Chain A
Amino acid sequence: MAAILSYIERESVIHKLTGTTKLIFFIFWSIAAMVTYDTRVLIVMFFTGCLLFYVSRLKWTEIRFALIFMFVLMAINMVGIFLFSPEQGVEIYQTRHVLIHLFWRYTVTIEQLFYMFNFMMKYMAVIPVALLFILATNPSEFAASLAGIGVNYRIAYAVAIALRYIPDVQKDFREISQAQQARGIDLSKKDSFMDRMKNSSAILFPLVLASLHRIEVISNAMELRGFGKMKKRTWIVGRKLSARDYIALVMAVMTVVFSMVVTFYDGSRFYNPFL
């Protein structure tokens, strides 16, 4: 079973920020990275992110697995882009500097490399902050922080339930598939596609029934303990924003403003060094 990223407790400024702050920061950061395609902005964002990651005292060995995975994903994506559209960069930047002609329609141009570099940076710019959000936010605080940014508390609680019951569902799934294997039903074998699909329904059906039963038990328990009684709800793990949080929030806002200004200063999302 692959390693999963989850909360790591540590003493650091980042950890001390409230979940709400980290959530807002993460959302703003993602928006900024989504909007811009400006190389300069992306590079600044990436390095600021790395700096923050350093401040959080998390170790890179703790995320090595995730980085390798993302790197592979990115590499596959880049190959895909090049195979499908080797002239995408030329189209965007409107010039064509040929480096080397490979074969058929495949030519390596500086524009294409630059475009792919930007594409990569766009993804990379978010990674450190996303990792921080995942690794430095106590999952208990997730729901409270969602409620903190104005999400309806009922929906926020749905997220809490998802996080709470993932290990249980995982255990169910494991045990069910083991029990089915004991009866001769196997997912890993090299069966035909059709058989594999059928076998997976043999495992999924008990999982569905167990989950539906679980839904009934949990909603009864919540009902009995007064969930949804009032229009609001307090959170025992919720925290008040402190000065530190306000500084972080100002930083987040500034990032968005900075990225918008620099990006659209010349009226285009792209930074074009070729013109």
Chain B
Amino acid sequence: MQETLISFEHFTFQYRAQSEPTLYDINLTINKGERVIIVGASGCGKSTLAHCLNGLIPYSYPGHSEGKLSVCGIEAKNSSIFELSQFVGTVLQDTDGQFIGMTVLEDIAFSLENDCVPKEEMLDRTREEALKVHLLDKMKASPHELSGGQKQRVSMAGVLINRIPVLLFDEPLANLDPAAGKAAVELIDEIQKKSDTTVIIIEHRLEDALHMGADRIILMEDGRIICDTTPSVLFAGDRLLKAGIREPLYITAMKYAGIDLKPEMKLQRIQELELTKEIKDGIRSWYYNQSPPRKAEKSANLLSVDELSFGYTEEKMNLNRIGFTVRNGEMISIVGKNGAGKSTLAKLLCGFEKSDSGSITLKGKEISEDTIKERAQFIGYVMQNPNQMISKPMIFDEVALSLRVRKLSEEDITERVHRVLKKCGLYEFRKWPVSALSYGQKKRVTIASILVQEPEILILDEPTAGQDFRHYTEFMEFLKELNGHGITVMMITHDMHLMLEYTERTFVFADGEMIADTTPSALFSNRELIGRASLKETSLFWIAEQAEIPAEQFIEKFIAYDRQVRN
């Protein structure tokens, strides 16, 4: 008999500012020791569900709820956030907001301090916890000395220290590089196994989260749970795709190859999946039936960078002698470890920071001495966080801002803004306040406000982080279209499949060095490079290897076919 820890019965919740409920009639039980992954399109209510569990709803976000919710035998309605936090430990997505202490030591001890635990005991317990998450040598480090993955582990230690029965993660992987994400998932797995904790993970990167194995996947759509079953059953059907969620790539590949997937095939984890001869043959014959995709021809040089070096402080160089050339109309990805200097490179190109040495040449003209404003006419940079760019409350005004600065006539402005808004799928919203938009839509507003300046090169910093598959596809197709109109696109990303799918060239960064300039598929045939840059292969490689066909061509064909199917 399993012990039930969490149970929702006909639970409905409505935020005070909303005119309709965000969660409808939720029925869900989670037992002790289970591992559950929650997926669903952006805005479907996943975080809202999580907040109900840890008590932030209704204590921090007021609203109206109906039905029953009990957590570890306690009626959530009659409880307090303090009581609930003894049962449910939450690791939030925002690693900086959550790192409250001045140093790792203080942050891990934070909840013990609040419990008035004496100092000696605190020191022992924090040390013990730091050991578990492999941070013992970083106890005195402050947050800005840590990588994204390390901060994530500090947050975990800070929650684990209370020996909590339920661990809740809201998008733990969003900002981590592939290898750090994998390490984080493995750590969660290890902790779960040791202590029999119940683990609930909300994540858009389903395949990465599945690396640790899951007992159940809960699929949400528009505030309802539409599916609650084992991964294998879910993958054998097509509900994920219908809900706009990306399936693990190995599943998609098998489906394309016409293989009839059945729940008994252990589809839940690639490590457990057994490729029978039949499946391998299926994949092989699909592969030989696809014609290879066409390659684009080369064009003129647009931007070249030579021996570029830069350090934020004098002690440490953050970029070392970077050099590359970008041709007109290319679509390039920049990948690599957290903190490798990818965003820094973008800032140097746009003139946000001044390089210490080296040159940047645009269309044959040296631009190192040009101001931010002068470069902005040619190079548009869309930053990682849209909130840092949006400076007007209304969408129209936001996009019109740079035109108004240039003192164009109001008619010209309206015409150009409308054109860009239509291109970005935001025309219907032109009279809305920016605050009413979702994160992904905000990101598109920032792109619109850059596009309106008609740059020739567009640099995007992690355009798809935290976005669901449907919006992701929409968005990337839009970029592809822009690229087709002759805009050169460079994007920084941690998503390996995105890199494979949309870019023909990739720059690989590690610790301030550019260690490769290659094609995405060639990158993956170089194990050493992958390790150094903290990257990870996609499961398509594994499939190709198993089926004994050339991985590079297999992936190229997969992508071409995938695009046909989706459009």
Taking Cβ atoms with an 8 Å cutoff, the residues of A that contact B are 139-140, 160-161, 163-164, 167-168, 172, 175-176, 178-186, 202-203, 205-206, 209-210, 213-214, 217-230, 232-238
A237 to B126 alpha-carbon distance, docked (Å):
12
What B residues does A175 contact at CB under 8 A?
Answer: 352, 383, 388
What B residues does A181 contact at CB under 8 A?
Answer: 352, 371-373, 376
Whether, in the assembled complex, B114 has its beta carbon less than 8 Å from a beta carbon of chain A, the answer is yes
Min CB distance, B90 to chain A, in Å?
A: 5
Taking Cβ atoms with an 8 Å cutoff, the residues of B that contact A are 54-56, 59-60, 81-82, 85, 89-90, 92, 94, 96-98, 100-103, 105-106, 109-119, 122-123, 126, 143-144, 158-159, 347, 350, 352, 371-373, 375-376, 380-381, 383, 385, 387-393, 401-402, 405-406, 449, 453
| Contacts A140-B106, A185-B405, A223-B60 given; does A230 touch B453 at CB 8 Å | no
Q: Is the CB of A206 within 8 A of B390?
A: yes
Of all chain B residues, which has the CB nearest A214? B97
Of all chain A residues, which has the CB nearest B81? A223
A236 to B54 alpha-carbon distance, docked (Å):
26
Q: Is the CB of B389 within 8 A of A232?
A: no
A84 to B547 alpha-carbon distance, docked (Å):
90
Given A175-B383, A224-B81, A236-B123, 16 additional A-B pairs, CB 8 A: A140-B102, A164-B101, A182-B372, A182-B376, A182-B381, A183-B453, A202-B401, A205-B391, A218-B98, A218-B100, A220-B60, A225-B111, A229-B82, A233-B113, A234-B118, A236-B113
Most buried by A among B89, B90, B126: B90
A178 to B387 alpha-carbon distance, docked (Å):
13
Min CB distance, B87 to chain A, in Å?
A: 12
What B residues does A218 contact at CB under 8 A?
Answer: 97-98, 100
A186 to B406 alpha-carbon distance, docked (Å):
12
User: Which of A168, A224, A225, A234 sits near B116, CB closer than 8 Å?
Assistant: A234
Q: Is the CB of B388 within 8 A of A236?
A: no
Of all chain B residues, which has the CB nearest A218? B97
A228 to B114 alpha-carbon distance, docked (Å):
7
A-B contact pairs, 30 of them (CB 8 A): A140-B103, A164-B102, A172-B388, A175-B352, A176-B388, A178-B347, A181-B372, A181-B376, A182-B375, A184-B402, A202-B392, A202-B401, A206-B391, A217-B94, A218-B97, A220-B56, A221-B92, A222-B110, A223-B56, A223-B81, A223-B85, A224-B54, A224-B55, A224-B81, A225-B100, A225-B114, A225-B158, A229-B82, A229-B115, A234-B122
What B residues does A225 contact at CB under 8 A?
Answer: 85, 100, 110-111, 114, 158-159
What A residues does B81 contact at CB under 8 A?
Answer: 223-224
A167 to B406 alpha-carbon distance, docked (Å):
33
Of all chain B residues, which has the CB nearest A201? B391
What A residues does B82 contact at CB under 8 A?
Answer: 226, 229
Of all chain B residues, which has the CB nearest A239? B119
What's the dominant secondary structure at chain B's contact region?
A: helix
Min CB distance, A172 to chain B, in Å?
A: 7
Q: Is the CB of B106 within 8 A of A178?
A: no
Most buried by B among A185, A202, A225: A225
Q: Is the CB of A224 within 8 A of B56?
A: yes
Of all chain B residues, which has the CB nearest A176? B388
A104 to B481 alpha-carbon distance, docked (Å):
77
Q: Is the CB of B115 within 8 A of A230?
A: yes
Q: Is the CB of B60 within 8 A of A217?
A: no
Q: Is the CB of A213 within 8 A of B387?
A: yes
| Contacts A185-B405, A217-B97, A220-B92 given; does A233 touch B352 at CB 8 Å | no
User: Which of B98, B105, B112, B383 sits near A221, CB closer than 8 Å?
Assistant: B98
Q: Is the CB of B96 within 8 A of A168?
A: yes
Min CB distance, A160 to chain B, in Å?
A: 7
What A residues does B115 contact at CB under 8 A?
Answer: 226, 229-230
| Contacts A225-B114, A234-B117, A238-B119 given; does A139 touch B102 at CB 8 Å | yes
Of all chain A residues, which has the CB nearest B380? A182
What A residues does B380 contact at CB under 8 A?
Answer: 182
Min CB distance, B544 to chain A, in Å?
A: 41
What B residues does A226 contact at CB under 8 A?
Answer: 82, 85, 111, 114-115
The 8 closest A-B pairs by CB, nearest first: A217-B97, A184-B405, A183-B402, A178-B352, A236-B109, A182-B376, A226-B114, A225-B111
